[in-house]
Amino acid sequence: MFDLTQALLQRKSVRAFLDKEVKHEDIVDILDKARHAPSGTNTQPWVVAVLSGQKKKQLDALLLAQFENGVARQMDYNYYPITKLPANLNSRRVACGLQMYHTLGINREDIEKRKLQWGKNYSAFGAPVVLYFFADKSLEKGSFMDYGMFMQSIMLMAVSKGLGTCAQAALAEQPQIVRSFLGYSDNYVLVCGMALGYEDQTDIINSYRTPREEVTSFTTFFE
């Protein structure tokens, strides 16, 4: 039986995957269940492209080439504030990166190794499957909340099938390339991508888990 509590606690960002095929019917079933996620006035704004095999490898190569050639990021929207994050949020963001590189034994000064690790983003960390999420460009912030609930549903369903995921904003850094490769028009915003596959439990990077704030630190009860 599906244990929601266990799935919530088990879900994590997986950054190393086994070279093991994910069954097409499992992907369809995950999406079939996730489509029941809530959305404002039932708009269901999600548009999903699923890549595997040669198609995935070809797009991976295009995105990695942009990164290695130093092409500037050109996301369809601002993920972070234009100025700067509030101090408490930024401290968590910095700690997240430091913890990951510490787990890998990569020093802050080792720019080359840090770059090699970051480059793995563009192959969805070697996952056999990657999902790209699009939305009509006319939509506003409310639809991004809808999308978050849809994606969380996908990630929890993946856990129920013994699969790992990693939601990745990095896969949306070059939206024109992704749209052109997949044949989507400029009427669609590229929201992000998501790696999907079987976790490589022997890879040390998957031992890296970020801490979470206690309920009392972000909640105020009014009675």
170/19 Cα distance (integer angstroms): 22
pTM flag (> 0.85): yes
- Let me know if residue 45 belongs to a domain: yes
- Let me know if residue 182 belongs to a domain: yes
Distance of CA 80 to the CA centre of its chain: 15
- Let me know if residue 114 belongs to a domain: no
86/27 Cα distance (integer angstroms): 38
Q: Which domain holds residue 28?
A: 4-84+122-218
Number of domain units in the chain? 1
- Let me know if residue 183 belongs to a domain: yes
What confidence tens digit (pLDDT) does each residue in 130-153 have? 999 999 999 999 999 999 999 999
How many other β-carbons are positioned within 10 Å of the β-carbon of residue 111?
Answer: 10
Q: How confident is the model at residue 92 (pLDDT cuts 50, 70, 90)?
A: very high
- Let me know if residue 65 belongs to a domain: yes
- Let me know if residue 203 belongs to a domain: yes
CA distances from 200 to 17, 18, 146, 164 (A): 5, 5, 30, 9
Beta bridge partners of 167: 194
- Let me know if residue 109 belongs to a domain: no
- Let me know if residue 131 belongs to a domain: yes
What CATH code is carried by the domain that includes residue 187? Answer: 3.40.109.10
Rounded mean pLDDT, 13-31? 98
CA distances from 67 to 27, 70, 93, 117 (A): 29, 5, 21, 12
